[in-house]
């Protein structure tokens, strides 16, 4: 899947959680990506995280960044 398509999908997930307070939205987005995205999709979006051509909304960007950290139990 292209990085642009992954960014689009991640931003759509972000819109779903936009009604939540910022910190909760970040956690919800990151949790959704961990739970429902294939590991290859997560690796791909992280591989292109710093590419200026890939637009991630600020809250989504923060959530994707958290994918680099182990999930809290």
Other C-beta atoms lying within 10 Å of the C-beta of residue 27: 17
Q: Is position 21 within any domain?
A: yes
Task: Give the number of domains in the chain.
Answer: 1
**Token pair of 64, please?**
């994707």
70 Cβ partners below 8 Å, 6+ apart?
Answer: none
Structural domain includes residue 60:
yes
Range of the domain at 10: 3-66
* pLDDT tens-digit map of 18-49: 999 999 999 999 999 999 999 999 999 999 99
On whether residue 71 sits in a domain, the answer given is no
Q: How many CB atoms lie within 10 A of CB 14?
A: 23
Residue 54 lies in a domain: yes
| pLDDT, the chain, mean | 94
Between CA 69 and CA 31 the distance in angstroms is 12
| Residue at 72 is within a domain | no
Prediction pTM value: 0.91
Q: Is residue 61 part of a domain?
A: yes
The reply to whether 73 falls in a domain is no
Asked whether the predicted pLDDT for residue 73 surpasses 50, the reply is no
Confidence of residue 72 (pLDDT cuts 50, 70, 90): low
Note the pLDDT of residue 68: 87
């Amino acid at each position: 899947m292209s990085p642009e398509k992954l960014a689009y999908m991640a931003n759509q997930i972000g819109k779903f959680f936009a009604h939540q307070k910022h910190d909760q939205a970040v956690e919800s987005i990151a949790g959704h990506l961990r739970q429902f995205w294939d590991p290859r999709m997560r690796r791909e979006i992280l591989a292109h995280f710093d590419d200026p051509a890939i637009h991630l909304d600020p809250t989504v960007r923060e959530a994707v960044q958290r994918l680099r950290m182990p999930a809290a139990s």
